[in-house]
Amino acid sequence: MPLKWNYILPAGSDLQHTTFSIIDEGSSNDIGFALPGSDTATIFNNYQARFNISTSEKATLIINRATEREETTFQCKLTTSSNLWRYRGRVKLTGKS
């Protein structure tokens, strides 16, 4: 199940990396990150079985198998040469596919 964040950076912004996190009761736990132009993403050990990060599309976190545990808030954090942007989205499962 892909979670996609669409964004347009301001002119002159240089994307340095994209980090995905789980937001749980106000704390943030990083899942992994991707560097622009890289063919691989880094997924931290405790999340390798549950998630993947697409390097072929902008800001896409992939949930390998969605369960009730994934009914939470996810964050996409964009780090540029001049700013830090955070966008959050909540996942709500509505049935089996």
Residue matched to tokens 């390097």: 55
* 13 phi/psi in degrees, rounded to 5: -80, 135
Write down the pLDDT at residue 56.
82
Output the pTM of the full model: 0.87
Q: Looking at per-residue confidence, does 97 or 22 come out higher? A: 22
Task: Tokens for 23, please give them.
Answer: 């937001």
pLDDT single digits (tens) 18-70: 999 999 887 889 999 999 888 899 999 889 999 999 988 788 999 998 777 77
Write down the pLDDT at residue 47.
93
CA distances to 8, 21, 80 from 64, rounded to whole Å, are 27, 15, 28
Q: Looking at per-residue confidence, does 77 or 93 come out higher? A: 77
